[in-house]
Structure 1
């Protein structure tokens, strides 16, 4: 297995580069106009093993892009909960200070970068493609890293599984250090956990447990989150609560991986979904 310190474009570790590969989207730039360096670190480099392309087709149509939402060709993500944009005009593009928190200058530890992205509210403002604005840059990036980590461990895509479980605790709220909490959380597996909420955590792995909620990702990358969730061998959500039955029903309809993962975060952790939760906070 290649270490984080070698084997990637420009001498940056492959997994480290994966977390920094789409920084131009945070900055409101196209791929053609992408900066090569931001906050003193190399960014927007190619991702090894085809992981970026595979993650992309998990969330949006393959082939030439087409506008899917008229009058919204913008990097701001649309919420599947409210149908509205999730950020004000002044919050996009991200500020350099916000970008700094995601590229983490001086860091060559993929686990630290994974924790930063896993708990980021900034990255969740942006879509992965302006043509498909309900997609999520945050969850696309986490999926890229999860696929790459598994590929580098010797697994092919058709060896991979989605594992979902109820965490003992979710991410902190308010001004607490979410990244530090993620690094300390037993349920968070470095570079493979792609969702961490107070109700469910999801990871992508070639080494699934023998029991629990597990489902194969299938023969190849396609928009199949709904089908994959429906194949889980156990129910990871507490369906005694009505609002979680709604969440379960909804994700069984969402094909895009990044859209589905972002939807779960928005409902479980977001303020816009209090009504769906029956007026109850997290």
Structure 2
């Protein structure tokens, strides 16, 4: 039986825009708290609410296995993300732009979902945390971006099996750098559906791929990044450069979506980002 996204699920039970709720739903992880200890309000903003249409659960299945979690890295029960590119915590590397000092309110307090999307897309604070302490190479930043991308597609009437990964070059470096303001102005960024914007590429999850290089996500949410990446009709960087051949080879092995997206971001930072 084909997978069907639960479109009949009710909207968030408050007056918060569902897309805003998507970017606020894991604030407790930014604060190092468990789901059971999550607060409902952060600086007068409603946070940690359920995301409608099953988007949170579907995004979790893209990056984490089903069932009770198991510890996968000994001696690392920490919310700090481990980097596949360096083997260290992301915050321990001088090459990787991460920070555990916030500003968390910047990721939460706006009521404009397009602003929140741009901020999560470019946040050094969000990049420091893992999606789960049991899976420390996963990324909270990219989990949240995947949740919002799925929710936006579901609200537009697309079922999961209609979704594609679109990969394109990001274009020239913005004059002000890879900032939230630049993301909102960039033609390489699509509100809500862009899940990675980096010097080497931009990646989008969409039910409307058009004639852009793309690959279907599959019939149901699963840790399938390597499979989807391998099916792309074209890749967004020069395969003649050894650095990018190495990146391509690794992405054909990484199954967790949030881990793969974080790996691209870290690899670009460590090994140089001008893929053109």
TM superposition score normalised by structure 2: 0.90
Poorly superposed stretches of 4+, deviation over 4 Å:
92-95, 170-173
Distance in 1 (CA, whole Å) between partners of 2:30 and 2:243 is: 32
The Cα offsets for residues 21-54 of structure 1, whole Å up to 9 and x where unpaired, read as 0010000000000111112211111000000000
Distance in 1 (CA, whole Å) between partners of 2:21 and 2:265 is: 25
Deviation at 1:234, TM superposition (A): 1.1
Change (3 A) 1:281 1:158: closer
The Cα offsets for residues 101-138 of structure 1, whole Å up to 9 and x where unpaired, read as 111x2x32111100000001110100001000000000
Distance in 2 (CA, whole Å) between partners of 1:17 and 1:93 is: 23
1:111-126, aligned counterparts within 5 Å? 111-126=114-129
User: Who is 2:28 aligned against?
Assistant: 24
Distance in 2 (CA, whole Å) between partners of 1:148 and 1:216 is: 17
Deviation at 1:177, TM superposition (A): 7.3
User: Who is 2:7 aligned against?
Assistant: none
Does structure 2 retain, via aligned residues, the 8 Å contact 1:170–1:199?
no
Does structure 1 retain, via aligned residues, the 8 Å contact 2:81–2:130?
yes
Q: Secondary structure at the match of 2:14?
A: helix
1:161 aligns with 2:171: no
Distance in 2 (CA, whole Å) between partners of 1:227 and 1:219 is: 13
Change (3 A) 1:257 1:172: farther
Q: Which runs of 5+ in 1 are unaligned?
A: 1-5
Deviation at 1:219, TM superposition (A): 0.1
Q: Which runs of 5+ in 2 are unaligned?
A: 1-9, 93-97
User: Aligned Cα RMSD in Å?
Assistant: 2.2
Distance in 2 (CA, whole Å) between partners of 1:252 and 1:191 is: 25
Distance in 2 (CA, whole Å) between partners of 1:83 and 1:9 is: 41
TM superposition score normalised by structure 1: 0.88
- Aligned residue among 14, 20, 33 for 2:18: 14
1:190-201, aligned counterparts within 5 Å? 190-201=191-202
Q: Name the count of aligned residue pairs.
A: 262
User: Who is 1:68 aligned against?
Assistant: 72
